[in-house]
Structure 1
């Protein structure tokens, strides 16, 4: 039985959520849209295609959604050098792989961001596959990203690791169990409410429980 862990990247393995919040806040301000940082933070984990209409409405999305996303990219670019992996991230990925678990990095980030994070995590020889924004037309909480990620590997069982309710929602919609982390700033109660089977404060705590994580057979999710 070949197992696979689908890892969210931003906010789960690398410390980006608050930097993304700053970048989105500044991007909205470019268009005189004042969105409180707390609301932006609670939307982090969605892809930009979902986040913009969720925060400023469908009309604004239709009128200037692409311009806002470009402004976010411009604002985030100088911040990306501040990104660091969370303590224990490399150890978690390496031990999972050493236990014959197939590691897939399921991200909808821009390709250059994902490549940068993979290097920060020293994960090129660990991850069997990864995804980027170029792989999907609809991001989390839609299930497409996880389905595309699973399509890149040959496995029989899978589980999802993420830091946001959007990760948990996408897992549920895919018929997969999810495990939450507190690394992105979402509460334990919210993650459990959205379907997380268990929640970990530190990645080393998650690593210690690798043999006890929940999996579901993929032939049961069809």
Structure 2
């Protein structure tokens, strides 16, 4: 019995998980018309996916010219810092694929965290064409999320005020980690046709088990998208391998 929101798909290992998600993303993007918007996650599991997308057959099949890339969260550090989510995605995929520069929307890395969050929100609102999110018109086509061993996702950290933010689309998170962070908020993540959690490794089994048992207090368990919610997990994270 599962108390988790959405459906769960389980794969043998991280490689087969990444291959399936690459197929899933490509099919969704090819089926759509016009600009296709994807919010990216950091972490080792998404990194394997990004590397795969930048190789054949995906390199030749994926509709790169009309896909726009956004970040779900970022450490407030320079884009060339080894810990930067932007740098990871750039090295794994963006530098290897025919991505138009104007389709890459990285979070700012200058000014104060609060100023950077405000500027990124303005960028999103300009692209969306409105200052308020309309349930009938999701911003994103796909949101990718990870799962921390404390139940956080993106930089929606346990015990932080950002968990209660329902007006702003982007927020600075000053506490909870050694460095300040920028993150999309629940309203922004939830304005999506598809939200996918990518979870692998036995170290995630305990927290994923708590979410499956219905622990709704964990930040990751509180994501309620307008569209579908799916958990792509490997057997180790599912506790079956």
User: Same fold judged by TM-score > 0.5?
Assistant: no
**TM-score, with length taken from structure 2:** 0.37
**TM-score, with length taken from structure 1:** 0.40
Higher strand share: 2
Higher helix share: 1
